[in-house]
């Protein structure tokens, strides 16, 4: 996600293997969702010491979850998000020297190939699913004790939902949030700062506080789809629908936003 922000290229294997790529994105995304779903569970579920902590607690929790996940996935640039991976593919179309993890080919760079892109996205999806299952296990007793909680609040531990359901406008909101994220990722490497993934954590927080209100700001297809699948499969007491009618929005919106952001950044000559 943040290839230009990780000052670790000297530690990347000279020729990353398929396992290096998969394990890096899997671990980072698993940690992201474990901590992100965990803060939603803390807020939403009864018998949780943080019950009712509010929107700001959720935003900061997700921001710091990204911070941890990016560091865990340092070998691959910490995408954690298919929209980011797709943005790198589009960027490669503008500049053939762009790699998936920011390092040069032969110095640890992951080439932009169909196979590597699929490995990134598969690892992100599986990592997000496992992270969601682990969050459920961490809060198993709270889920069991929350039978009277609105099933929508339980789904909200795993996936997003709009406050006002209007699929077209919900797509616009998700696209705009992702647009801001990808613009930052693409331009930040050219700035004279060394704050690394902490800056991205703060971007996640500000996207949540500024643009997250309408939809809950998935801004990441894997973050929403894989945990939604986990919600559908897990034996959650008192759960309701997994809301598959909405599930396409947090996939399509972020992809549109990522592509538009990349086109705008390269069109303006602002890429780092």
The structure tokens listed for 154 are: 């339980």
CA dist., res. 267 & res. 63, Å (int): 29
Stronger pLDDT, 185 or 243, i.e. the higher one: 243
On the question of pLDDT at 9 being above 90, the answer is: no
Query: pLDDT value at position 2?
Result: 45
Residues 126-148 have pLDDT tens digits of 999 999 999 999 999 999 987 66
Backbone angles phi, psi at 220, to 5 degrees: -170, 110
Residues 31-40 have pLDDT tens digits of 999 999 999 9
- Pick one of 1.20.1080.10, 3.30.990.10, 3.40.50.300, 3.30.70.1110 as the CATH number of 3-267: 1.20.1080.10
Cα angle, residue 65 at apex, residues 140 and 154 outer, rounded to 5°: 35
Q: Are the beta carbons of 215 and 174 closer than 8 angstroms?
A: yes
Per-domain boundaries in the chain: 3-267
Residue bearing tokens 């909405």 = 246
Query: pLDDT value at position 194?
Result: 56
Cα angle, residue 18 at apex, residues 14 and 20 outer, rounded to 5°: 60
Q: Are the beta carbons of 218 and 224 closer than 8 angstroms?
A: yes
Residue bearing tokens 């700062």 = 193
Whole-prediction pTM: 0.94
CA dist., res. 9 & res. 6, Å (int): 7
Secondary structure element (H or E) that encloses residue 156, with its range: helix 151-158
Residues 65-114 have pLDDT tens digits of 999 999 999 999 999 999 999 999 999 999 999 999 999 998 899 999 99
The structure tokens listed for 17 are: 């293997």
On the question of pLDDT at 54 being above 70, the answer is: yes
Q: According to the per-residue pLDDT averaged within each range, which of 93-107, 167-181, 194-208 is highest?
A: 167-181
Residue 146 DSSP one-character state = -
- Residue among 186, 217, 218 at smallest CA distance from 200: 186
Mean pLDDT estimate for the chain: 92
Residues 206-237 have pLDDT tens digits of 999 999 999 999 999 999 999 999 999 999 99
Query: pLDDT value at position 191?
Result: 53
């Amino acid at each position: 996600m943040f290839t230009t922000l990780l000052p670790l290229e000297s530690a990347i294997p000279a020729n990353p293997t398929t396992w290096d790529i998969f394990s890096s994105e899997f671990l980072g995304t698993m940690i992201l969702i474990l901590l992100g779903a965990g803060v939603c569970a803390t807020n939403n579920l009864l018998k949780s010491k943080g019950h009712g902590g509010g929107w700001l607690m959720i935003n900061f929790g997700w921001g710091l979850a990204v911070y941890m996940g990016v560091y865990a996935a340092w070998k691959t640039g910490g995408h954690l998000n298919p929209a980011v991976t797709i943005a790198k593919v589009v960027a490669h179309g503008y500049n053939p020297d762009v790699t998936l993890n920011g390092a040069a080919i032969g110095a640890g760079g992951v080439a932009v190939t169909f196979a590597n892109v699929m490995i990134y996205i598969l690892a992100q999806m599986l990592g997000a699913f496992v992270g969601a299952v682990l969050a459920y296990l961490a809060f198993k007793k709270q889920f069991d004790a929350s039978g009277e909680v609105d099933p929508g609040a339980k789904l909200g531990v795993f996936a997003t939902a709009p406050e006002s359901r209007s699929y077209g406008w919900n797509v616009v909101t998700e696209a705009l949030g992702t647009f801001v994220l990808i613009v930052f990722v693409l331009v930040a490497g050219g700035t004279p700062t060394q704050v690394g993934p902490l800056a991205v954590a703060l971007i996640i927080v500000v996207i949540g506080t500024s643009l997250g209100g309408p939809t809950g700001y998935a801004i990441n297809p894997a973050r929403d789809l894989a945990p939604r699948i986990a919600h559908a499969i897990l034996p959650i007491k008192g759960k309701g629908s997994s809301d598959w009618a909405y599930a396409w929005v947090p996939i399509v919106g972020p992809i549109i936003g990522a592509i538009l952001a990349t086109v705008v950044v390269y069109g303006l000559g602002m890429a780092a």
